[in-house]
Amino acid sequence: MDRITIIVPCYNEEEVVETFYDTLKAALEEVPDVDFRCLFVNDGSVDGTLSVLRRLSEQYEGVSYLSFSRNFGKEAAMMAGLDYADGDAVILMDADLQHPPSLIPEMVEWWRKGYDDVCMKRTDREDEAWFKRTMTGVFYRVLQGFMRYRVQRNVGDFRLLDRRCVSALCLMRESQRYTKGLFTWVGYRKKELPFKVQPRAAGTTTWNYLSLFNLAVEGITSFTTAPLRLTTMLGLFVSMMAIIYMLVVFFDALLYGDPVAGYPTLMTVMLFLGGVQLLSLGIIGEYLGRVFTESKQRPIYLVDEMDGKKLCYRRGRS
């Protein structure tokens, strides 16, 4: 019998976890020959999520939970889930019922056909605001331009991963995680299935435009150093233009006796160069910042409690 662990990161989801689990349980009954376990990861919720999880895990044998010492973010919560899951495969899904559990039977079917990573592809992006859609499009285009492997579009965290993918993902201990990219990075056989993201069952989303911009920068800086190469090329280009312009001014003054007005040209050039320099410094800074964070080698998350037991940090696990 196959064992599948369902990993559910929860942050302030007290209103929905219980409904979520009921829906999940109903959906799982339709899958034959699979031993499902559900692993909730409480990401430092400040509401009653933890007590709901405690109750669920006492009530149902297939439910266990991890609870963080504070909020570490969804990426860390997923990492913890992958570290602690012991199934032959795992399914990652959100607690807010935006990822419909009714699709699980189909995912399992494809896994049994030999796919290692069954990813769910959103087909409802048209409903989003025009600005968000355009920015998402630009981001994917930029990322793809820099990468040597195919970036998956509109594919999120809702997916089934074979044990092989999970082991590979557990090797990557970077603390600034762009999990979506890591899934692509590990490779293996991927199958994309379409699905529609449901509206949140309750509660509010934690994303806004600023955090999406940050995520985009994170995505690019953690997977490619191409922007650094681009600054080098930009520097070369600007220097070449400067030389050409210098020659023009030189001959203008020598041959035609043009007195060349100073202030406007100087001002334009100075401001332009200042902008280029700040931009390049910013790009270098982004990478330096990443080196700084990664070099500290801090654990990605700290588990406070697991299934009612207080845990202490163990090396190699987090």
Candidates 61, 129, 205, 312; binder of ligand UDP (CB under 6 A) is 205
Determine if 177 is a binding residue for ligand UDP (CB under 6 A).
no
Report how far residue 169's alpha carbon sits from residue 167's, in angstroms, rounded to the nearest whole number.
5
Residue listed under structure tokens 């074979």: 162
The nearer residue to ligand UDP, 206 or 239, going by C-beta atoms, is: 206
Q: Is residue 98 near ligand UDP by the rule CB under 6 A?
A: yes
If 0-12 CB within 10 Å is exposed, 13-18 middle and 19+ buried, where does residue 214 land? exposed
DSSP-assigned letter for residue 149 = S
Contact between 98 and Mg ion (CB under 5 A)?
A: yes
Sign of CA dihedral 234, 239, 244, 246: positive
Should residue 295 be labelled a site residue for ligand UDP when binding is judged by CB under 6 A?
Answer: no
Considering only 96, 116, 117, 162, the residue that binds Mg ion (CB under 5 A) is 96
117 binds, among ligand UDP, Mg ion, none (CB under 5 to 8 A by kind): none
Torsion over CA: 167, 172, 175, 178 (sign): negative
Among 38, 50, 77, 91, binds ligand UDP (CB under 6 A): 77
Considering all CA atoms of the chain, what is the largest pairwise distance in Å, rounded to the nearest integer?
Answer: 93
94 touching ligand UDP, by CB under 6 A: yes
Residue 298 burial by CB count (10 A; 0-12/13-18/19+): exposed, middle or buried? exposed
Please report whether residue 209 would count as binding ligand UDP according to CB under 6 A. no
Least separation in angstroms between residue 95's CB and ligand UDP is 4
Interface with Mg ion includes 83 (CB under 5 A)? Answer: no
Residue 75 CB, shortest distance to ligand UDP, in Å, is 8
At 109, list the tokens.
């079917």
110 phi-psi bin (left φ>0, alpha ψ -120 to 50, beta other): alpha
Exactly one of 6, 10, 34, 97 binds ligand UDP (CB under 6 A); that residue is 10
73 contacts ligand UDP (rule: CB under 6 A) = yes
Q: How far is the CB of 76 from Mg ion (least distance, A)?
A: 17
H/E stretch holding 219 reads helix 209-223
Give the strand pairing for 303-306 and 309-310.
antiparallel
Select 42 or 231, whichever has its Cβ closest to ligand UDP.
42
Is residue 13 a contact residue for Mg ion (CB under 5 A)?
no
Angle between helices 104-112 and 17-28 (to 10 degrees): 50
Instruction: Decide: is 67 part of the binding site for ligand UDP (CB under 6 A).
Output: no
By CB under 6 A, name the binding residues for ligand UDP. Answer: 9-11, 13, 43, 71, 73-74, 77, 94-96, 98, 205-207
